[in-house]
Amino acid sequence: MRPTTLISATELATLAAAGEALIVDCRFDLADPERGAREYAQAHIPGAVYADLNRDLSDLSKTGLGRHPLPDAERFAAVLRRLGWTPQTPVVAYDDANGTLAAARLWWMLKLVGQRDVAVLDGGLAAWRAAGLPLRAGLESRPPTEVAVHFDERRVVDTAELRELLQNPHFLLLDARAAARFRGESEPIDPVAGHVPGARNRPFSENLAADGRFKPAATLRAEFAALLAGRDPAEVVHMCGSGVTACHNLLAMEHAGLTGSRIYAPSWSGWLRAGGEAAT
């Protein structure tokens, strides 16, 4: 497997038929946290195992770090062992939200532990269905493995570092939330509306074409280059409400060949818990 950002439904079908990849269903619904697991059991891509955003890709026992705190490396390793992952195993993540909840999050977390062959299904489960490809009901598992991982913490930004970075005029903070939330006109989840002072808005939805797939790499490159305005991608940090959809913007930049940006993991919910101010 060569894709390291996005993979098409037909490419994934080939991998699935050959049993050459770990396929992870990451469906999740913020309003109904159990819906993803229920719908996985009803119908999923054959061979796929399930990872839950709250239980597997976050550590909700951590406080002050936003709504979806990043788990520590050992906790994530335990999830990977249960899923049957090894460093040599190519991984494909998918969800039913075009990668936003939470396929791109798993993709990013695997990048943090050094996985090269990991991709997100372009267009998500809808693209698989549209291609007329089969689905399977029930629960699936793979033989557990014995692995240990370490996060590359240089690629994760905390609140203290973000405050320092905001003093640098060359730094760019991109917020992936919808424009109305960024402007403070509505806030359906967090206690305070608005955005981090100095941030720019790049709604993750702008990464997608009308069919739900990512825009062509050249288009994404031009759009992000306009936001970067000559900055190196390494001077970019992504955020959102809780550190999940921010990964969609990072994935889009990587797919466009703009490599090296990072994630402010606590994001808006963590910024507020740390006493950060809000701009509108």
> Which positions are catalytic?
240
Pairwise CA distance, residues 128 & 94, whole Å: 10
| Residue 250, Cβ density class (10 Å: 0-12 exposed, 13-18 middle, ≥19 buried) | buried
Pairwise CA distance, residues 135 & 42, whole Å: 9
Q: Which of 46, 47, 9 is nearest to 128 (CA)?
A: 9
Q: Tokens for 78, please give them.
A: 């335990």
Pairwise CA distance, residues 48 & 32, whole Å: 21
- ∠ Cα 85 240 106 (to 5°): 5
Pairwise CA distance, residues 25 & 40, whole Å: 7
Q: What is the DSSP letter of 172?
A: E
Pairwise CA distance, residues 48 & 83, whole Å: 10
Tell me the torsion sign for CA atoms 118, 123, 129, 130. negative
Pairwise CA distance, residues 68 & 55, whole Å: 10
- Is 12 within 8 Å of 23 (Cβ atoms)? yes
Q: What DSSP element (H or E) covers 173? A: strand 172-175
